[in-house]
Chains A and B, each alone.
Chain A
Amino acid sequence: MKPLACLLLGLAASVVLRGADSALAPLTPALVAGEWQPLIGALASKGSVQADFTERRYFPFRTQPTVLHGILRISPERGLSLQYLGDEPNILVADPSGLLIRDAAGRSRELPADSHEGGAIASLLPIMRFDFAALFPRFDVQAQRSGDTWRFEFTPKDPEAAKALGLITVVGTGTAVRHLQFRHSANQRVDIDVEDPRSGVAFNPAELAQFFR
């Protein structure tokens, strides 16, 4: 075989193999308990996580995305906290009680978990915990894996939640989440890049009080 032909065949085989490996497929409870269990088990048992993030918000009436930076914190007990840095710092907490937004002056606004709006956003919490038992009743889930890289897509079953959240995508490598996307359309979406994730961190009481409810 000629070297060029070998190269082309090799590339084709690689595409076929990668394609087979990367096809998004519905994730079922049986699959979660089966072949996906090692990955999901590892993701769910990571404990507390802290990472930097860059968020790009795309609006249909804006020519460029709005870029925000901050620190993401996940506590298995307390929930998810996004600390936005910049000119108008805010802290957004999603936990079992609902959603809480705390401004720089310490004033907070809440959306209870049993409200429609708060409930939709609070449903992010099981996603960040990879709690599939809680996710399956609320979302249609699809999954894809390619070597060390994996991808989950969550489509809310409740139309109101779908309107609020859009399609949610979580992408990661190994046991680290690398990218999140909330997508309504190409020009109406939020992309979050997670950088330098550190698992197993211990939040001290002051941090817990400041960044969680």
Chain B
Amino acid sequence: MEPPRQKWIARLILLLGAAAGLAWLGSLNLQRRISTDVLDLVPTDERSPELSMVRGLADQEEARVLLFAVRVAPRDGEAPAARGARADRAAATLARLLAASPAIAQAVPLADAGPRNAMAAAIFARRLEFLLPGWLADRRQEFDAAGSPGPWSGWLAERAASGLERYLAKPEAMASQDLLTSDPLLLIPGLVGKAGSLEASGLAGGRAGDYALVWAQGRASPLSPEGQGPVFAAVDAAAARLREAEPGAELRWTGIARYAAASRRRIEQEVSTLNLLSLGLVVLVAAACVRKVYRALQLVPVVLGSLLGAWVATTMVWDRVHILVFVIGSLLAGVAIDYGFYLYLQPRRRPDEPYRERAGRLIRPLLASALTTVIGFSFLLWSELPLIRQLGVFVSAGLVSALVTALLWFAQLDNSYLETRSFIRRRASNPGPRVRAAARAVLVAGAAVALLGPWRLHWRDDIRELEIPTPEIQANDQAVRDLFGESTDRTVYLTRGRTPAEARARLEEFLAWHQRAYPQAKAASIGYALPTEAEWSGLPAEFAALASFPADFRAALERHGFDAASFSPFFGAWADEAGRRDRPAYDQLVAGLAGTLQGPLSSLLHVKPGASWFVTISQERPGPEAPPGLATVTDSQLQNLNGLFARYRVSALRLSSVGLAFVGASVFVLYGLRRGVRIFAIPAGACLFAFGAFGLAGATLNLFNLLGAFLGVCLSHNYAIFSAESQGRGEEPPPSIRMSAAAAASSFGVLALSRIPVVAALGSTVAVIVLAALVITELTPLASAPEPAQDRRP
């Protein structure tokens, strides 16, 4: 019998703690506090420009784009052209129906040339503002390079007239001849030549095969519930109305909202499934190893207390916590139960040994294992990545809660000892030479794997692995994007700057690099339609220097066989622009162009306070990335954020190393150098073996394998401590080590089955390390057992 006072105090503390924790969680709006947005996994003040662009893309209208492809059912004897026209009408109907929904900001059938015409008209009307400064700067470079002795104006007039004459021999001259009297400097044809392939980039085509295309934009962020449900309802309603008019019409569509909704749904399922499975397996392991199965349920409060403490601490520290923390947090079931095992399965020294005395014997290894793990995970609080910081707090708080709950829970029981089945305690007392040799061979083979395998490891991070892959949605997305002309034969670049001027300057540098790197590939950007800030500010001085240009140009045109009088629209526009006194500031000029971009064209240029970028579409397969100084990334870089996560991985490795150093140091302080080395060799060896095995298997690891390794080392470190403690007392290792390892391996094995790749990576890493540590713990005594004395009697 335990003292009643001890029992009631323990019960009171447990009840108060549970009530307070549940009250706290009950007071929270968990829908708001728990996020499924992957961007919440990375810091809001992240300095990486890639991420700020991704954040921008996610927050801005670019992420709200919805792409639709409509195909109408064929009719008997109908010509393809007639069917195509019917598809165009269906697309126009769909766009009208979508645009009528409050959830949809705009919807445009791509056959509608309105956005293209609006952009072309705006650029043509302001061609001397948008295009002339850059054209003059290019000609000035040629003039300087040629070292021409004549005046600048005369040289320029001759150059422009001869250029116009040459242009008339080009195939496209006939199509653009109506423009030429207004644009004899060929500003618009020059822009079309450089940026014309945007037309073939999927942004401007009206139809793809039998499908007519519609571009639309939602009103709310696709990552928010408002940007999902109402959009889906609007699409369903529009599709139903469309099919009333066109029975059998097929509608395919894609958008980030579809991914986000599917991801949230699947992750929520994953959380509940993994937690239940993990808890169930741990209880099953316990039930299989103890004599009175029902008494194994006494371990459940330890796990629940651990999870409650972890949830409370994490939600108290952070206003918004990513759901992945709770998914990975389900591993705590396998870790937290360890303390229950150590306390509950520790045999009494004598039948009437009180709980306090028994717990007192265990408190040193319990505190050593718990606190060293907590210290190790606390170092993750210095990580840049919120996810890792949140995991650090979740695991640390969970372990402390587990230890406290275990100590209190068993303190309020009259019988706090659970006898294990004999098989879990069974050990080879006097191993024969074959067993010794086999144990040594296994250890040597493991050492070889640990030494050779890690050199073959590959590392790569992809933010998309933080979510559950949705193959059917991905396949649909790819199919629709193919119809919109997105192919693997092209590369999309985003060039950024804090201001429009900086972004345009970087674009100029990037385009020069691209020309050198891919001389055969054409790079098209709306940036060609804008001067750089320096060219714009130099325009008044150029007009002043070219005062005689109109007269020079008239004479040059006549010399080259033109009727100069036909070009009066150009000379009128030139005089107006040259005489202009007030010109807009550069930012206003860029905003003026951005304001003319409608529908799909609006994604070509982004101008917002603090972040501007230009899109460049190049007709080449993705190749080497642009040098960092060019502030340009490809869309694939933005999709995987590998570069950014590689930095986080290095940061996590550094923090884990420091944490492990402290764990090791604390072991050396508690157990001395010799025993400390023996204790620390087990988790370190198990970790190296796991990485070696992954390396030999050709696996590619990521940040979460690293975190898993850290956790695995901390766990297996506990087994080494308890094993060493028992050895120090001349006892056999307690059965709780085997049960802990089995429970942890089961719990993490469940995580290894997760459909979220990073969770699976973490689970498999911990499971392998824990099992390897158990094998080392078990085999080391066998391999180092003394040779039995030889019977030398004749």
Which of A57, A63, A68 meets B562, CB within 8 Å?
A63
Interface size for chain B: under 10, 10 to 19, 20 to 34, or 35 or more residues?
20 to 34
Given the known A-B contacts A61-B180, A110-B200, are A90 and B171 also in contact in the complex, defined by CB atoms under 8 Å?
A: yes
- Contact pattern, A 134-148, Cβ under 8 Å of B = 1, otherwise 0: 000100000000000
Instruction: Please report the C-alpha to C-alpha distance between residue A84 and residue B172 in the assembled complex, in whole angstroms.
Output: 13
Instruction: Please report the C-alpha to C-alpha distance between residue A164 and residue B174 in the assembled complex, in whole angstroms.
Output: 9
Which of B168, B205, B566 meets A66, CB within 8 Å?
B168
Could you tell me if A66 and B197 are in contact, using CB atoms closer than 8 angstroms? no
A116 CB to nearest chain B CB (Å) = 8
Closest B residue to A190 by beta carbon equals B174
Instruction: Please report the C-alpha to C-alpha distance between residue A134 and residue B196 in the assembled complex, in whole angstroms.
Output: 30
Could you tell me if A88 and B522 are in contact, using CB atoms closer than 8 angstroms? no
- Residue B499 lies at the interface, judged by CB distance under 8 Å to chain A: no
List B residues 105-126 near A (Cβ within 8 Å).
113
Instruction: Please report the C-alpha to C-alpha distance between residue A101 and residue B189 in the assembled complex, in whole angstroms.
Output: 15
- Residue B478 lies at the interface, judged by CB distance under 8 Å to chain A: no
- Residue A173 lies at the interface, judged by CB distance under 8 Å to chain B: no
- Residue B52 lies at the interface, judged by CB distance under 8 Å to chain A: no
Instruction: Please indicate the chain A residues that have their CB under 8 angstroms from the CB of B175 in the complex.
Output: 117, 164
Instruction: Please report the C-alpha to C-alpha distance between residue A190 and residue B174 in the assembled complex, in whole angstroms.
Output: 9
List A residues 99-155 near B (Cβ within 8 Å).
101, 105-107, 109-110, 112, 114-117, 137
- Residue B170 lies at the interface, judged by CB distance under 8 Å to chain A: yes
Could you tell me if A188 and B177 are in contact, using CB atoms closer than 8 angstroms? yes
A181 CB to nearest chain B CB (Å) = 13
Could you tell me if A87 and B166 are in contact, using CB atoms closer than 8 angstroms? yes
- Residue B54 lies at the interface, judged by CB distance under 8 Å to chain A: no
Could you tell me if B566 and A61 are in contact, using CB atoms closer than 8 angstroms? yes
Instruction: Please report the C-alpha to C-alpha distance between residue A68 and residue B167 in the assembled complex, in whole angstroms.
Output: 12
Which of A63, A82, A109, A117 meets B197, CB within 8 Å?
A109
Instruction: Please indicate the chain A residues that have their CB under 8 angstroms from the CB of B197 in the complex.
Output: 109
Which of B171, B177, B206, B522 meets A107, CB within 8 Å?
B522
Instruction: Please indicate the chain A residues that have their CB under 8 angstroms from the CB of B567 in the complex.
Output: 61
Instruction: Please indicate the chain A residues that have their CB under 8 angstroms from the CB of B269 in the complex.
Output: none
Given the known A-B contacts A61-B180, A61-B567, A109-B197, are A90 and B170 also in contact in the complex, defined by CB atoms under 8 Å?
A: yes
- Residue B561 lies at the interface, judged by CB distance under 8 Å to chain A: yes
Closest A residue to B196 by beta carbon equals A109
Instruction: Please report the C-alpha to C-alpha distance between residue A182 and residue B200 in the assembled complex, in whole angstroms.
Output: 27
- Residue B181 lies at the interface, judged by CB distance under 8 Å to chain A: yes
Number of interface residues of A (CB under 8 A): 32
- Residue B34 lies at the interface, judged by CB distance under 8 Å to chain A: no
- Residue B59 lies at the interface, judged by CB distance under 8 Å to chain A: no
A89 CB to nearest chain B CB (Å) = 10
Instruction: Please indicate the chain B residues that have their CB under 8 angstroms from the CB of A87 in the complex.
Output: 166, 169
Instruction: Please report the C-alpha to C-alpha distance between residue A62 and residue B560 in the assembled complex, in whole angstroms.
Output: 9
Instruction: Please indicate the chain A residues that have their CB under 8 angstroms from the CB of B488 in the complex.
Output: none
Instruction: Please report the C-alpha to C-alpha distance between residue A101 and residue B563 in the assembled complex, in whole angstroms.
Output: 29
- Residue B207 lies at the interface, judged by CB distance under 8 Å to chain A: yes
Instruction: Please report the C-alpha to C-alpha distance between residue A109 and residue B566 in the assembled complex, in whole angstroms.
Output: 30
Which of B169, B200, B206, B562 meets A88, CB within 8 Å?
B169
Instruction: Please indicate the chain B residues that have their CB under 8 angstroms from the CB of A90 in the complex.
Output: 170-171
- Residue A168 lies at the interface, judged by CB distance under 8 Å to chain B: no
Instruction: Please indicate the chain B residues that have their CB under 8 angstroms from the CB of A86 in the complex.
Output: 169
Could you tell me if A106 and B520 are in contact, using CB atoms closer than 8 angstroms? yes
- Residue A64 lies at the interface, judged by CB distance under 8 Å to chain B: yes
- Residue A194 lies at the interface, judged by CB distance under 8 Å to chain B: no
Instruction: Please indicate the chain B residues that have their CB under 8 angstroms from the CB of A174 in the complex.
Output: none
Instruction: Please report the C-alpha to C-alpha distance between residue A57 and residue B166 in the assembled complex, in whole angstroms.
Output: 13
Which of A68, A92, A107, A190 meets B169, CB within 8 Å?
A68
- Residue B173 lies at the interface, judged by CB distance under 8 Å to chain A: yes
Could you tell me if A62 and B168 are in contact, using CB atoms closer than 8 angstroms? yes
Instruction: Please report the C-alpha to C-alpha distance between residue A86 and residue B206 in the assembled complex, in whole angstroms.
Output: 36
- Residue A38 lies at the interface, judged by CB distance under 8 Å to chain B: no
Given the known A-B contacts A61-B566, A62-B561, are A107 and B520 also in contact in the complex, defined by CB atoms under 8 Å?
A: yes
List B residues 629-657 near A (Cβ within 8 Å).
none
Which of B84, B170, B177 meets A59, CB within 8 Å?
B177
Could you tell me if B169 and A61 are in contact, using CB atoms closer than 8 angstroms? no
Could you tell me if B563 and A66 are in contact, using CB atoms closer than 8 angstroms? no
Instruction: Please report the C-alpha to C-alpha distance between residue A174 and residue B299 in the assembled complex, in whole angstroms.
Output: 101
Instruction: Please indicate the chain A residues that have their CB under 8 angstroms from the CB of B171 in the complex.
Output: 82, 84, 90, 92, 101
- Residue A60 lies at the interface, judged by CB distance under 8 Å to chain B: yes
Closest A residue to B560 by beta carbon equals A62
Instruction: Please indicate the chain A residues that have their CB under 8 angstroms from the CB of B174 in the complex.
Output: 57, 182, 190
Could you tell me if A61 and B522 are in contact, using CB atoms closer than 8 angstroms? no
Instruction: Please indicate the chain B residues that have their CB under 8 angstroms from the CB of A92 in the complex.
Output: 171
B699 CB to nearest chain A CB (Å) = 43
List A residues 52-103 near B (Cβ within 8 Å).
57, 59-64, 66, 68, 82, 84, 86-88, 90, 92, 101
Could you tell me if B180 and A101 are in contact, using CB atoms closer than 8 angstroms? no
Instruction: Please indicate the chain B residues that have their CB under 8 angstroms from the CB of A164 in the complex.
Output: 175
A66 CB to nearest chain B CB (Å) = 4
Closest B residue to A119 by beta carbon equals B81
Instruction: Please indicate the chain B residues that have their CB under 8 angstroms from the CB of A62 in the complex.
Output: 168, 561-563
Given the known A-B contacts A87-B169, A90-B170, A117-B175, are A60 and B566 also in contact in the complex, defined by CB atoms under 8 Å?
A: yes
Instruction: Please report the C-alpha to C-alpha distance between residue A200 and residue B697 in the assembled complex, in whole angstroms.
Output: 62
A52 CB to nearest chain B CB (Å) = 17
B404 CB to nearest chain A CB (Å) = 70
Instruction: Please report the C-alpha to C-alpha distance between residue A68 and residue B172 in the assembled complex, in whole angstroms.
Output: 14
Closest B residue to A138 by beta carbon equals B81
A105 CB to nearest chain B CB (Å) = 8
- Contact pattern, B 566-607, Cβ under 8 Å of A = 1, otherwise 0: 110000000000000000000000000000000000000000
Instruction: Please report the C-alpha to C-alpha distance between residue A60 and residue B566 in the assembled complex, in whole angstroms.
Output: 8
Which of B170, B181, B207 meets A61, CB within 8 Å?
B181
B80 CB to nearest chain A CB (Å) = 10
A88 CB to nearest chain B CB (Å) = 6
List B residues 174-228 near A (Cβ within 8 Å).
174-175, 177, 180-181, 196-197, 199-200, 205-207
Could you tell me if B200 and A112 are in contact, using CB atoms closer than 8 angstroms? yes
Instruction: Please indicate the chain B residues that have their CB under 8 angstroms from the CB of A82 in the complex.
Output: 171
Which of B170, B205, B522, B562 meets A114, CB within 8 Å?
B205
- Contact pattern, A 40-59, Cβ under 8 Å of B = 1, otherwise 0: 00000000000000000101
Instruction: Please indicate the chain B residues that have their CB under 8 angstroms from the CB of A182 in the complex.
Output: 174
A114 CB to nearest chain B CB (Å) = 5
A187 CB to nearest chain B CB (Å) = 10
Could you tell me if A63 and B563 are in contact, using CB atoms closer than 8 angstroms? yes
Instruction: Please indicate the chain B residues that have their CB under 8 angstroms from the CB of A60 in the complex.
Output: 177, 566
Closest B residue to A82 by beta carbon equals B171
Instruction: Please report the C-alpha to C-alpha distance between residue A68 and residue B174 in the assembled complex, in whole angstroms.
Output: 13
Could you tell me if A114 and B206 are in contact, using CB atoms closer than 8 angstroms? yes
Instruction: Please report the C-alpha to C-alpha distance between residue A105 and residue B193 in the assembled complex, in whole angstroms.
Output: 14
Instruction: Please indicate the chain A residues that have their CB under 8 angstroms from the CB of B199 in the complex.
Output: 115
Instruction: Please report the C-alpha to C-alpha distance between residue A182 and residue B177 in the assembled complex, in whole angstroms.
Output: 14
Instruction: Please report the C-alpha to C-alpha distance between residue A117 and residue B172 in the assembled complex, in whole angstroms.
Output: 11
List A residues 146-182 near B (Cβ within 8 Å).
164, 182
Could you tell me if B172 and A114 are in contact, using CB atoms closer than 8 angstroms? no
Instruction: Please indicate the chain B residues that have their CB under 8 angstroms from the CB of A116 in the complex.
Output: 113
Instruction: Please indicate the chain A residues that have their CB under 8 angstroms from the CB of B566 in the complex.
Output: 60-61
B723 CB to nearest chain A CB (Å) = 71
Among B84, B169, B205, B207, chain A packs the most CB atoms within 10 A around the CB of B169
List B residues 139-169 near A (Cβ within 8 Å).
165-166, 168-169
Could you tell me if B520 and A57 are in contact, using CB atoms closer than 8 angstroms? no
Instruction: Please report the C-alpha to C-alpha distance between residue A143 and residue B25 in the assembled complex, in whole angstroms.
Output: 88
Could you tell me if A88 and B563 are in contact, using CB atoms closer than 8 angstroms? no
Instruction: Please report the C-alpha to C-alpha distance between residue A60 and residue B174 in the assembled complex, in whole angstroms.
Output: 11
Among A63, A82, A87, chain B packs the most CB atoms within 10 A around the CB of A63
Between-chain CB contacts (< 8 Å), 11 pairs = A59-B168, A62-B561, A62-B563, A64-B561, A84-B169, A88-B170, A106-B520, A107-B520, A112-B205, A115-B199, A116-B113
The 4 nearest A-B residue pairs measured at CB? A61-B566, A66-B168, A92-B171, A101-B171
Not counting A90-B171, A116-B113, a sample of 17 additional A-B residue pairs whose C-beta atoms are within 8 angstroms of each other reads A57-B173, A57-B174, A59-B177, A62-B562, A66-B165, A87-B166, A87-B169, A88-B170, A90-B170, A105-B520, A107-B520, A107-B522, A109-B196, A114-B205, A164-B175, A182-B174, A190-B174
